[in-house]
Structure 1
Amino acid sequence: MKLTALSFENYKAFSKRESIEVRPLTILIGRNNAGKSAISRLPLLIARALSDRAESPFEFKFNGMDFGASFLDLIHNRVPHGSVGIGATFTDDDGKTTQLWGSVQYFNEYKLQLVSRFFLRKMNDSAITLSWIGREPLKEGELYCVEETEQKCRVSFQGFFPQFIQPIEENQALTLSLEKGLMDIRLNNTLLAKATKNMTYLGYFRQQPQRLYNFPSRILHNVGFNGVNAPELLGDDFLRNKGIVLEAVSEWISHYLGGWKLDIDEQGEMFSLIMRNPDNPSVAVNLVDVGTGIAQVLPIIVQRQFEAITGQTGNLEIVEQPELHLHPDAHGNLADLYVEAIKQSDARFIIETHSEIFLLRIRRWIAEKKLEPNQVIIYWINDDPNSGERIQTIHIQKDGEVDKWPKGIFSEDFEEVRAIRKAQKDFWQ
């Protein structure tokens, strides 16, 4: 089962209800502070709400993630008694979908979150909708109505999902019906939690390198939050897998980022990541002392090469600005890594980027028939809240052209050249 769509309302920068598809390669573009990161990080918020570790419907600080100082930072315009609505669609291998939606009301005076509406529907099956009907959240926080039967009941939640449902009126038939419904909910909760497990998030500031690392005493399967485990994953590979992943990473860096090779300098129980001169292998520099670009891109390259070699693919990888601190010449080569992953596995990515070259490379591969148009979708996040359409969908056609291109996207170079030409004309006059 895979996450195939996201929806949200009154969430961060977005007041109205919005929806996006999640395809193998979902690309978010837009100006700074438009709301791209709020969308790209949303699957992590949902994953936490579905997990058995959730302590409240929406947690805003967990596993290194920080969605804000308080729940108010999730609410559009930080309305003290506002609510946030978040939903997702999941699709199994047979094409059957499961739709999930939940609204969480915030009571600022109590610093309390309460699920005000819960909706779950599996394709070709009946839906279940729970609506909070209480007035006082402290006294009636568990008072809900099952909309399909108009029956009142008491409901307790763990995270986003109901864990206990009991009818208020004694009714054996209703009790049995609710118990069956709860079993279905729990089964779906397990399936959806599994579908959102093992996500990888690489934010726009990846983990900074250190001079020394301990060889890991555990076997690693991904680079972790912001790439924190990337060096240890290479250390694990060096110790236990003959350095196959390390060699692949080194070859990529050498080919596209300046010729030097990545290597491990073993120092007893510890090791260093070093860049070695291929023409004079005795010349080596600690990764800490080389340019920021290589350190920032390293977790991306490690994860891509690890999955390509081992075949161990996560549910979803979220990457913000993969091109950060890299010369534009390497942007297209980064795009190639994601294209190859999609072609060779069922990998799925949400990429937030400011790189025109990254997009051009994707369009090129579609035009050259190396990628199918339906595997990619682009969303332009409009930073003008009064524009009417906050999220604009851009499809790449079979010939590599786009079906539409919102005004102003990547037009800066043209505007600069036009200004230069005008200045030159004025000079000669």
Structure 2
Amino acid sequence: MLTALRLANFKAWQETGVIALKPVTMLLGTNSSGKSSLIQSLLLLKQTAHSPDRSMHLNLGADEAHDYFNFGSFNDILKSGTQSPRQFAIEFAFQADPQSRIESGQFACSYGQTTHGAAVIQTLALSTGGHRFRALRREKGAYAIFVNDDALPRAKGRHLAPERSIALSAEAIAVLGHVGAIAEDLSLAIRRELENIVYLGPLRRKPERDYVWNKMTPGQIESDGHRAVDALLASALTRGAQHNAVLDGVSFWLNRMKVADKLEVKQLGRSNRYEIVVHQAGVSANLRDVGIGISQVLPVLTVAYFAPAGSTIILEEPEIHLHPLAQSVLAELFVAMSRARRIQFIVETHSEHLFRRMQTLIARRETSAEQIALFFAEREADGAMLRKLTVDEYGRVSNWPKYFFGDALGETREQARLMFTRQQRQTGQ
């Protein structure tokens, strides 16, 4: 699980400070306030870690088929107006899976620009327990490798350049001697944390009328929701201990949201084609023929059950096209699945209903302020600013930004005033 994030000179953010991440972290804010940039920093590292080129310092996203974002150039990431040194930084901390040899660790990397305009690592620091490993860029692309607070490097050279932003090279690990194995395990743990990130964006595919099942379980659900139905088909058509687990879980939450009683996978004749049937109030219909809200929330619900236990699921606007009750139930989903499957949710949302239900869950003691982190992003003259919302045990927020969700009480007062004024006039007549 990711436990902290910090950005410096990254897009709208001059300095975020250390952002404490929880099992459920919600990011709210005005449009173009920098919320998405917080998410994109992690996806930038993830797509770099997946790069087939080990020498890649930062994968800015030239491959539209496999990358999450095309970040453009180094200058498109660097915060406008940044003076010398022209560098940006990404840092995160994590609590590793219980199976890992590394219990927890920290990643910190700063990036500069070569004379040819490419992004290049300036400083990479990997830490765990009492061990800290650093790779510092020197002249002509050479790197110096330091351990802990050593004044002198263990080695220097171009061959010691870090790999894919997250790992020391094999040559660097070799010169570290007996602590090299720790550095190697730490790099692997960081890679796994990034691999365990699952991202679902705000733009999701419309459903098909029927689907071909190739008798395989998909490797992942893609950022536009593609393969979500494949995961449902595999759940329904593969026998074993997990038979129907994903399908039943998704049906449960659709029912809880009052948008469907259940889903059914139905074979079309004797072919290998299947349709998703939605049952609601005694009526059955193809997924293609029901409201768009069901198909848009379907990947959100599916990924909560399909992602491996211990994953970090990043969601942008999961509430899109849902009515208010369904939006609020998403809060219950996040709390329940974070507890049952050790799933971490980082959610960027504009939904008042989702937020208000999260407050209610805290007041009911179904979760706590220690398990939930709420942040509000807003723009200032010199960039973005992040405010941690302070929530008490009753779900009350003491530092809520004024009028972000509108002024409900003010609207009620104005309606009452206008009604009273109109009644007075009618009485006077």
Query: How high is the TM-score relative to the length of structure 1?
Result: 0.83
Q: Deviations over 1:332-391 (max 9, x none)?
A: 11111111112323211101111122112111111111112210111111222448x811
Change (3 A) 1:78 1:190: farther
Partner of 1:348: 344
The one-letter amino acid paired with 1:347 is I
Matches within 5 A, 1:217-366: 217-220=215-218, 222-241=220-239, 243-259=244-260, 261-267=262-268, 268-280=271-283, 284-306=284-306, 312-366=308-362
2:39 matched residue in structure 1: 40
* Counterpart contact for 2:257–2:329, Cα < 8 Å: yes
Instruction: Spell out, residue by residue over 1:385-419, the C-alpha distance to the aligned partner (whole angstroms, 9 max, x if none).
Output: 448x8111113221222242233332344455566
How far apart are residue 25 of structure 1 and its match?
A: 0.6
Contact 1:52–1:158 (Cα < 8 Å) also in 2 = no
Counterparts of 1:117-136 in structure 2, within 5 Å, are 117-125=123-131, 127-134=132-139
Whether 1:85 aligns to 2:89 is yes
| C-alpha displacement of 1:288 | 2.4
Shift in CA distance, 99/214, structure 1 to aligned 2, threshold 3 Å = same
For 1:201 and 1:51, locate their aligned partners in 2 and report how far apart those are by CA, in whole Å. Answer: 14
Report the CA distance shift for 1:164/1:223 in structure 2 as closer, same or farther (over 3 A): closer
Amino acid at match of 2:78: I
In structure 1, the residue corresponding to 2:188 is in which secondary structure?
A: helix
Q: CA RMSD in A?
A: 3.1
- Partner amino acid for 1:116? Q
| 5+ long unaligned stretches in structure 2 | none
Contact 1:216 1:236 in 2 (8 A): no
| Distance (Å, rounded) in 2 between the aligned partners of 1:407 and 1:336 | 26
How far, CA to CA, are the matches of 1:227 and 1:418 in structure 2? Answer: 43
For 1:105 and 1:157, locate their aligned partners in 2 and report how far apart those are by CA, in whole Å: 14
Aligned to 2:405: 410
Question: What's the counterpart of residue 193 of structure 1?
Answer: 191
- Shift of residue 71 of structure 1? 3.2
Task: Choose 324-333 or 65-74, whichever is displaced more.
Answer: 65-74
8 Å CA contact 1:116, 1:131 repeated in 2: yes
Give the distance between the partners of 1:233 and 1:46, measured in 2 at CA. Answer: 26
The sequence identity of aligned pairs, in percent, is: 23
| Secondary structure of residue in 1 paired with 2:299 | helix
The answer as to whether partners of 1:27 and 1:379 remain within 8 angstroms in 2 is yes
Q: Is the 8 A contact 2:259 2:326 kept in 1?
A: no
Distance in 2 of aligned mates of 1:31 and 1:178: 48
Aligned amino acid, residue 6 of structure 2: S
Residue 14 to residue 234, structure 1, CA distance change in 2 (3 Å): same
Within 1, Cα distance between the matches of 2:22 and 2:141?
38
Could you tell me which amino acid in structure 2 is paired with residue 343 of structure 1?
R
2:47 partner SS: helix
| Residue identity matched to 2:372 | V
Structure 1 unpaired stretches of 5+: 135-139, 167-174
Quote the Cα distance in structure 2 between the aligned partners of 1:224 and 1:38.
19
- Give 1:156 deviation, angstroms: 1.9
> SS state of the match for residue 111, structure 1?
coil
Change (3 A) 1:386 1:274: same
Deviation at 1:209, TM superposition (A): 1.3
Q: Give SS of 1:232's match.
A: helix
Deviation at 1:95, TM superposition (A): 10
Contact 2:102–2:189 at 8 Å: present in 1 too?
no
| Maintained 8 Å contact 2:9/2:82 | no
Q: Which amino acid aligns with 2:72?
A: A
**Post-superposition offset of 1:37:** 1.1
2:182 aligns to what SS in structure 1? helix
* Residue 4 (1) aligns with residue 3 (2): yes
For 1:73, the equivalent position in structure 2 comes to 76
Are 2:391 and 1:381 equivalent residues in the alignment? no
User: Is 1:156 the counterpart of 2:161 in the alignment?
Assistant: yes
Contact kept, 8 Å, 1:106 with 1:113, in 2: the verdict is: yes
Distance between the aligned counterparts of 2:289 and 2:86, measured in 1?
A: 48
Query: What is the SS of the residue equivalent to 1:162?
Result: coil
Q: Name the CA distance, whole Å, in 1 between partners of 2:15 and 2:248.
A: 48
**Given that residues 135 and 162 in structure 2 are in contact (C-alpha distance below 8 angstroms), is that contact kept between their aligned partners in structure 1?**
no
Shift of 1:133: 2.4
Question: What is the CA distance between 1:30 and its match in structure 2?
Answer: 0.3
Deviation at 1:165?
Answer: 4.8
Deviates more, 1:185-194 or 1:251-260: 251-260
Q: Which moved more, 1:52-61 or 1:286-295?
A: 52-61
Amino acid at match of 1:121: S
Range that drifts further, 4-13 or 217-226: 217-226
Letter in 2 for 1:356: E
Give the aligned length. 405
